[in-house]
Amino acid sequence: MGAGVSGLFGLGGDEGETSAAVGGAVAAGLGDLPELCAAEVLLRLDAPEICRLARLNHSFRGAAGADFVWEAKLPENYRYLMSFVEGGGGGDDGRQLRRRRRRPAGKKEIYVRLARPVPFDGGSKEFWLEKSKGRVCMALSSKSLVITGIDDRRYWQHIPTAESRFHSVAYLQQIWWFEVVGEIDFSFPVGTYSLYFRIHLGKFYKRFGRRVCSTEHVHGWDKKPVRFQLSTSDGQHSLSQCSLGEPGSWVLYHAGDFVVSKPDQTIKLKFSMAQIDCTHTKGGLCVDSAFIYPKGFQQERMVRSQKCRC
């Protein structure tokens, strides 16, 4: 027994045998971990962590390509989302996608594709998966929104810019009745979502390669708050208001939250922002787009509106 213990800790015994035993212990490491065990580790990680760990060794690299690992990271309605990638427009549950593909897409390939913007409705809207948790985000351009007076160049104009993901924003010069309305029919994964309007006070442009913002035409927004409304086809409703501020910066103004409780449920959203007090004009404002994010997900400066007691 003593010899056995001595051998275990490298004390005494044959030197060659001891060296071989030590060498064998050193040789065993993470590289010898079975891929199935490595995959169980990856299931507990976010997508960026999986990609980083895949560079560690052969076992994790092989496990990082397993379909069951990536399917656990995808939203439950990923087939519906992939139908937009092939131009199906949604709602076919991926049947058109399967007919068009020459080979089945791996789940990692699907995740990677959905993590890039997927345009739809003529390119005026797009959605994507945020890379960390695989949750759905969406953007609706100003051209997809119904804006009062948008076709009258005395009030509004479209300005091309690299500061919008849609490369264009609507700029308000001056108007009495300010109202922006949007609608979307979509099957969101189960969860709670927040809707925002991306707004900028002041007209910005480039001068000698530097960003310049003119606020001389910003007026009327300090007299009364802007009112935000959000309603859904299943009876949810939100009403709030907020005064616009922070000229020169893009700000996400919170319009309301909604909950999706059933998988594969198509929900219709209607939302708006308005300041329709005709006792004064208002102007000098840029409308970029409306954003839908998973609740708690933050990208830019966000301002939460106050609920109305009415």
Task: Decide if pLDDT at 23 tops 80.
Answer: no
Euclidean distance between CA atoms 135 and 190, whole angstroms: 10
Local structure of 70: helix, strand or coil: helix
Question: Judging by DSSP bridges, how do beta strands 250-260 and 302-304 pair with one another?
Answer: parallel
Number of domains, the chain: 2
Q: Which residue carries 């590289």 as its tokens?
A: 31
Residue corresponding to tokens 């002041």: 202
Report residue 75 as tokens.
């939203």
Cite the DSSP H helix spans in the chain.
2-8, 15-27, 35-42, 47-53, 58-63, 67-71, 78-85, 95-100, 107-114
Task: Looking at the structure, tell me whether residues 239 and 156 fall in a common domain.
Answer: yes
Share the mean pLDDT of the chain.
84
Give the pLDDT mean for 98-115. 77
What CATH number does the domain containing 180 carry? 2.60.120.260
Query: Are both 138 and 207 inside the same structural domain?
Result: yes
User: Could you tell me if 128 and 225 lie in one domain?
Assistant: yes
Full-model pTM: 0.81
Determine the residue type at 185.
D
- Provide the pLDDT confidence category of residue 93 given band limits of 50, 70 and 90: very low
Q: Is residue 276 part of a domain?
A: yes
5 belongs to a structural domain: no
Around Cβ 218, how many Cβ atoms within 10 Å?
21
User: Could you give the maximum distance between any two Cα atoms of the chain, in Å?
Assistant: 99
Among 6-20, 112-126, 195-209, 228-242, name the one with the lowest average pLDDT: 6-20
What average pLDDT does range 148-170 have in this prediction? 95
Is 287 within a domain?
yes
> 83 pLDDT exceeds 90?
yes
> Do the bridges between strand 203-207 and strand 168-172 make them parallel or antiparallel, or are there none, so unpaired?
unpaired
Residues 68 and 173 in one domain: no
Residue 48 lies in a domain: yes
Residue 16 lies in a domain: no
How far is residue 77's CA from residue 23's CA, in Å, rounded to a whole number?
50
Q: Where is 116: in which H helix or E strand?
A: none
The two tokens of residue 21 are: 């035993």
Specify if 50 maps to a domain. yes
Instruction: Give the number of other Cβ atoms within 10 Å of residue 95's Cβ.
Output: 12
Domain residues for the domain of 53 are 35-72
- Residue 3, in any domain of the structure: no
Same domain, 129 and 56: no
Specify burial of residue 34 (Cβ count, 10 A radius: 0-12, 13-18, 19+): exposed
Gap between the Cα atoms of 103 and 76, Å rounded? 21
**Per the domain annotation, does 20 fall within a domain?**
no
Q: State the pairing for strand pair 237-242/191-201.
A: unpaired
Q: Which long-range contacts (CB under 8 A, 24 or more apart) does 160-163 make?
A: 161/204, 163/204, 163/250, 163/288
